Amino acid sequence: MPDLIKISLIAFMFSALSQRERSILSWYGKAIDRLPWYISRPIGGCYVCITGQACLWYYVIAVRPFYVIDLAFFVSGGILLSMCYNKLYCWLCK
């Protein structure tokens, strides 16, 4: 569970900072905006997409033994946490 919180927070903040003007990662956001949507979204253009990708690949590579139900929980939990982070982020940045 701590890995899920860490990965989802890192992925969310990476996406949020790449989409925000005058942030340290705004250059990356501008670079991926020129790509087609089906490429740009999973690599940082969408916080849900990048969090799902990060959780999926972390689980596939690092977690043993591999269970499909646990994989689905891990990815879904990461996406749910990123949605909660987004609500908090929007509330704090008003």
With contact defined as beta carbons under 8 Å apart, do 47 and 15 qualify? yes
- Domain locations along the chain: 2-92
pTM above 0.85, yes or no: yes
pLDDT tens per residue across span 63-89: 889 899 999 999 999 999 999 999 999
pLDDT tops 90 at residue 22: no
